[in-house]
A and B are shown apart, each in its own frame.
Chain A
Amino acid sequence: MTESLHYVVIGSGSAGHGAATTIRARDPGARITMITMSRLPFYNRYDLPKMFKGVTDWRDLLAEDPKIYDELGITLRRNSRVVDIDGRARTIALAHNEVIAYDKLLVCTGGGPNVPAILEDYRPLMHGFGTFEQASATVAALPPGGQVVILGGDMIGLDIAFNLLEAGYRVSLAVGEQTFWPHRVEPDERAVLLKSLAKTGLDLIEDRSVVAIEAADRPARRVHFDDGSMVETDIVMPFFGILPIVDFMLGAGIDMERGVLVDPALKSSNDAIWAAGDVCQIWSDVDRDYRFYHGWKNVRVMGELAARNMTGAEETFDTADESVIEVDGNGCIRSTFWEH
Chain B
Amino acid sequence: MNGTDVQFAICGSAGDGTIAAGDILKRTMALMGYKVIAFDIYPAEIRGFGKCISRVRVTTEQAYSLKHQSDVLMSLNDAHAIPHVGEVRDFGAVIYDNAPIARLPEGGHVSAHIRPMQLPYGVSFRSISDRATGNARGRNIVALGYLAGLYGMPAEAFHQTIANKFATKPQAVTDANVRAFEAGYEAAIGTFKLDDVVMGSPLHRADGARAVMMTGNGAVVRGLMDAGIDCYFGYPITPATTIMERLAVEMPRRGGRMLQTEDEISAIAATIGAGYAGARSATATSGPGLALMAEMLGLGVMAEVPSVVIVSQRGGPSTGMPTKTEQSDLNMAVFGGAGDARRIVLAPTNVEGCYRCAGLAFELAEKFQTPVIVLLDLYLSNRYETVIPPKENPFEPKQATGPQGPVFRRFELTESGVSPRAVPGQAGGVHTITGLEHNELGRPSDQPDNHVAMSAKRYRKLEPATRYPGLTTIKRFGAAGKVDIGILGWGSTFGEILEAMFEAENEGISCSAMKVVMLSPLPVDELEAFFADCRVVLVPELNHEGQLATLVSGTLGRPVVRLPRATGAPMRVDEILAEVRRLAAETAAAAE
Chain A residues with CB under 8 Å of chain B are 39-41, 58-59, 66-67, 69-70, 75-80, 94-101, 132-133, 136-137
Contacts and interface: CB of A to CB of B under 8 A. Distances in A.
Contacts of A99: 103-106
Interface string B173-199: 000000000000000000010100000
A32 to B, nearest CB: 13
B102 A97 contact: yes
Given A96-B122, A133-B192, A67 B100 contact: no
A125 B439 CA distance: 95
B106 A101 contact: yes
B106 A39 contact: no
B136 interface: no
Rank and list the top 5 A-B pairs by shortest CB-CB distance, nearest first.
A66-B116, A79-B120, A133-B192, A98-B104, A98-B109
A132 B117 CA distance: 16
Interface string B94-110: 00011111111111110
B440 to A, nearest CB: 74
A95 B194 contact: no
Contacts of A96: 97-100, 104, 109, 111, 122
Contact of B115 (A39, A70, A97): A70
B116 A67 contact: yes
Name A's interface SS. mixed
A74 B120 CA distance: 17
B561 interface: no
A80 B106 contact: no
A311 B2 CA distance: 51
A77 B112 contact: yes
Q: Determine which residue in B102, B105, B107, B194 has the highest number of CB atoms from chain A within 10 A of its CB, and name it.
A: B194
Q: Determine which residue in A41, A97, A99, A132 has the highest number of CB atoms from chain B within 10 A of its CB, and name it.
A: A97
B111 A80 contact: yes
A59 B98 CA distance: 25
A97 B109 contact: yes
A75 B112 CA distance: 8
B114 interface: yes
Contact of B119 (A39, A70, A75, A101): A39
A137 B106 contact: no
A136 B108 CA distance: 32
B120 A58 contact: no
B116 A94 contact: no
Contacts of A100: 106
Q: Determine which residue in B105, B121, B122 has the highest number of CB atoms from chain A within 10 A of its CB, and name it.
A: B122
B116 A97 contact: no
A211 to B, nearest CB: 29
A265 to B, nearest CB: 28
A140 B119 CA distance: 21
Contacts of B114: 78-79
B98 A95 contact: yes
B187 to A, nearest CB: 15
Contacts of B119: 39
A100 B106 CA distance: 5
B98 A98 contact: no
B98 A69 contact: no
A98 B108 CA distance: 7
Contacts of A39: 119-121, 194
28 contacts: A39-B120, A67-B116, A76-B116, A78-B114, A78-B116, A78-B120, A79-B111, A79-B114, A79-B120, A79-B122, A96-B99, A96-B104, A97-B99, A97-B100, A97-B102, A97-B104, A97-B109, A98-B103, A98-B105, A98-B108, A98-B109, A98-B112, A99-B103, A99-B104, A99-B105, A100-B106, A101-B106, A137-B192
Nearest to B109: A98
Contacts of A137: 192
B383 to A, nearest CB: 33
B194 A78 contact: no
A39 to B, nearest CB: 6
Contacts of B192: 133, 136-137
Contacts of B194: 39-40, 58, 132-133
A157 B35 CA distance: 49
A134 to B, nearest CB: 9
A193 to B, nearest CB: 35
Nearest to B97: A96
A78 B120 CA distance: 7
A88 B103 CA distance: 19
Contacts of B101: 97
Contacts of A94: 109
B195 to A, nearest CB: 10
Contacts of B109: 94, 96-98
Contacts of B104: 96-99
Nearest to A75: B112
A75 B116 CA distance: 9
A123 B520 CA distance: 73
Given A39-B119, A98-B106, A79 B112 contact: no
Nearest to B108: A98
A100 B103 CA distance: 11
A41 B116 contact: yes
A97 B122 CA distance: 13
Given A70-B116, A97-B100, A97-B109, 6 more contacts: A39-B120, A77-B112, A78-B114, A78-B120, A79-B120, A96-B109
Contacts of A77: 111-112
Nearest to A58: B194
A10 B119 CA distance: 19
Nearest to B192: A133
Q: Determine which residue in B106, B112, B120 has the highest number of CB atoms from chain A within 10 A of its CB, and name it.
A: B106
Nearest to A134: B192
Contacts of A40: 194
Q: Determine which residue in B108, B112, B115, B116 has the highest number of CB atoms from chain A within 10 A of its CB, and name it.
A: B116
Interface in B473-506: none
B209 to A, nearest CB: 38
A41 B90 CA distance: 13
Contacts of B115: 70
Interface string B460-481: 0000000000000000000000
B76 to A, nearest CB: 15
A56 B109 CA distance: 31
Contacts of A136: 192
A256 B515 CA distance: 71
A8 to B, nearest CB: 10
A96 B106 CA distance: 11
A59 B91 CA distance: 10
Contacts of A69: 116
Contacts of B107: 98
A1 B498 CA distance: 52
B106 to A, nearest CB: 5
B567 to A, nearest CB: 25
Contacts of B98: 79, 95-96
A323 to B, nearest CB: 34
Nearest to A94: B109
B342 to A, nearest CB: 55
A101 B107 CA distance: 11
Contacts of B102: 97
Contacts of B105: 98-99
Given A96-B99, A97-B101, A137-B192, A78 B106 contact: no
A41 B117 CA distance: 8
B103 A97 contact: yes
Contacts of A70: 115-116
A67 B101 CA distance: 33
A97 B99 CA distance: 7
Interface in B116-135: 116-117, 119-122
A67 B105 CA distance: 26
